[in-house]
Amino acid sequence: MADEFIRVANEADLPPGEVMRAEAHGNELCLANIDGTVYVISNECPHASWPLDSGYLDGEEIVCPGHNMAFNIPNYVKVSPYDPGMKLYPVKVEDGGIWVGEG
């Protein structure tokens, strides 16, 4: 089960520099295309849970609309001891689609 990948979007729907919302395995996700590499994270800001898909990318960072904090997606560093962190999901881009594993 842990290795089951679900197609959540078409590759063409997520150009570089863009984010979008998706769902897989019962989880709400935020997809981000950083310079052609697709990352999938929980769609919940580690600061106060605002949906990250309503934010925007600034380089490797996603800027949350909640309080304008920026979080580096590939190199995330916790901002406080209470920070739950940012969950990265396994992802593959195949057959024109974006596929997400359970993680």
Q: Could you list the residues that contact ligand FES (CB under 6 A)?
A: 45, 47-48, 50, 64, 66-67, 69
Residue 51 near residue 43, CB atoms below 8 Å: yes
Closer to ligand FES by CB, 17 or 65: give it: 65
Q: CB 99 → ligand FES: shortest distance, Å?
A: 27
Give least dist CB 63 to ligand FES, A: 8
| Closest CA relative to residue 68, chosen from 82, 59, 58 | 58
43 touches 31 (CB < 8 A): no
Report the residue number, 2 or 75, with the smaller CB distance to ligand FES: 75
The answer for residues whose C-beta is within 8 angstroms of residue 29's C-beta and 6 or more apart is 8, 21, 22, 23, 40, 41, 42, 43, 89, 100
Q: How far is the CB of 97 from ligand FES (least distance, A)?
A: 29
Nearer to ligand FES by C-beta: 27 or 54? Answer: 54
In the chain the first and final C-alpha atoms are separated, in Å, by: 10
CB of 72 to ligand FES, least distance (A): 14
